């Protein structure tokens, strides 16, 4: 992390240039603390998708990873969508391609295809409806009961949704490297150190870890639970960047990472220097070809319509 003086100067320059550009900065909760602090809005994928769709800004600076910026470009094609680090990708999103999905759809032609938002625009264009970890259960529950379901690409989230909805699904063999790092033995070890803490688990974690949770939720759901629950100590099983928001929103409570290794290098690749440069140059810009965008937009709009 840069020193306080550098952070202050960079933040001031970003704020000034943001106003000149009529820009809005969106930050995922896994970003570096100083990046989160420069943002106009901090949230999870669903919140950020909705914010991208509703903003009146001319420029969206998306402090996240590539699929998130793509989603903003799909929802707001008239805006300039910038991804401060063009190499910030998502290994899980890369685990399914449009070609592979088309082949699977041919095997199960009457299936409804649900894609986790952690997918490329090309994959979304092949899907019927998207979901995030915050609304995946509601999305799947809204689908016709007589239709088979293909769920891509996260097998762990798919397993959780299947348990919650009672729906059988063909889940892809993808997973999040960061969440997959946490094992049941790891949970038992951290619980030994903090026996009175509640365990909050993201549904991208392994099924055996999810089964040990006191509460399973998206990042926003975790934060809401901690704010509203009387407990004062929590073990947090998701990417460690969220601890900044926990400490900020619940300063009177204590939070412990389930594993200090749960760090996403792609999320941490965005820096204040890169945010400033993006505003200065209006690059790197993320765009989606019109034919892909039109089909992917239907997928995202169906998700946003689910209550």
| Domain co-membership, 15 together with 28 | yes
Give me the number of domains the chain comprises.
3
| Domain co-membership, 61 together with 191 | no
Residue 231 lies in a domain: yes
Question: How many CA atoms within 13 Å lie on the side-chain side of 272?
Answer: 23
| Domain co-membership, 153 together with 295 | yes
For the chain, 307 residues long, the average pLDDT of each consecutive 10-residue run is 85 96 96 97 83 87 95 92 97 98 96 97 98 95 96 98 96 97 98 98 98 97 97 98 97 97 97 98 97 95 86
3 state SS of 176: coil
Residue 134 lies in a domain: yes
- Tens digit of each residue's pLDDT (9 = 90 or more) over 1-12: 678 888 999 999
CATH number at residue 244: 3.40.50.10800
Residue 62 lies in a domain: yes
Residue 191 lies in a domain: yes
| Domain co-membership, 153 together with 296 | yes
Q: What is the C-alpha separation between 146 and 56, in angstroms, rounded?
A: 41
pTM of the prediction?
Answer: 0.94
| Domain co-membership, 233 together with 276 | no
| Domain co-membership, 159 together with 297 | yes
**CA separation, residue 103 to residues 98, 213, 292 (Å):** 9, 36, 18
Residue 141 lies in a domain: yes
| Domain co-membership, 131 together with 169 | yes
- Tens digit of each residue's pLDDT (9 = 90 or more) over 272-289: 999 999 999 999 999 999
- Return the pLDDT at 307: 66
Residue 276 lies in a domain: yes
- Across the beta sheet with 112-116, the strand order is 129-131, 112-116, 149-152, 170-171
| Domain co-membership, 83 together with 14 | yes
**CA separation, residue 271 to residues 1, 33, 146 (Å):** 9, 10, 47
Take residue 142 and report the two structure tokens written for it.
């809204």
In this structure, are residues 120 and 95 in contact, taking their beta carbons and an 8 Å threshold?
no
| Domain co-membership, 19 together with 74 | yes
- Which domain does 190 fall in, by range? 182-257
| Domain co-membership, 97 together with 148 | yes
Residue 274 lies in a domain: yes
| Domain co-membership, 149 together with 192 | no
- Return the pLDDT at 282: 98
Residue 262 lies in a domain: no
| Domain co-membership, 86 together with 28 | yes
């Amino acid at each position: 992390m840069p020193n306080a003086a550098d952070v202050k100067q960079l933040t001031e320059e970003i704020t000034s240039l943001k106003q000149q550009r009529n820009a809005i900065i969106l930050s995922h909760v896994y970003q570096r603390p100083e990046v989160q602090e420069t943002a106009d809005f901090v949230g999870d994928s669903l919140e950020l998708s909705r914010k991208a769709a509703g903003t009146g800004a001319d420029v969206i600076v998306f402090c996240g990873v590539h699929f998130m910026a793509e989603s903003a470009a799909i929802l707001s094609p008239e805006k300039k969508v910038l991804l401060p680090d063009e190499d910030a990708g998502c290994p899980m999103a890369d685990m399914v391609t449009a070609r592979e999905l088309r082949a699977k759809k041919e095997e199960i032609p009457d299936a409804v295809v649900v894609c986790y938002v952690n997918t490329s625009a090309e994959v979304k264009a092949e899907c019927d409806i998207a979901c995030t970890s915050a609304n995946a259960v509601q999305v799947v529950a809204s689908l016709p009961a007589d239709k088979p379901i293909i769920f891509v690409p996260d097998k762990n989230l798919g397993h959780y949704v299947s348990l919650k909805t009672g729906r059988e699904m063909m889940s892809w063999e993808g997973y999040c490297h960061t969440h997959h790092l946490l094992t049941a033995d790891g949970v038992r070890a951290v619980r030994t150190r903090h026996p009175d803490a509640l365990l909050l688990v993201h549904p991208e974690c392994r099924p055996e870890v999810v089964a040990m949770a006191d509460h399973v939720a998206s990042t926003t759901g975790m934060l809401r639970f901690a704010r509203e629950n009387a407990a004062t100590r929590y073990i947090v099983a998701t990417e460690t960047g969220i601890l900044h928001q926990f400490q900020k929103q619940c300063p009177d409570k204590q939070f412990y990472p389930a594993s200090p290794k749960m760090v996403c290098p792609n999320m941490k690749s965005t820096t204040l220097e890169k945010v400033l440069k993006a505003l200065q140059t209006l690059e790197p810009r993320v765009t989606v070809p019109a034919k892909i965008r039109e089909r992917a937009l239907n997928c995202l709009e169906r998700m946003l319509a689910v209550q």
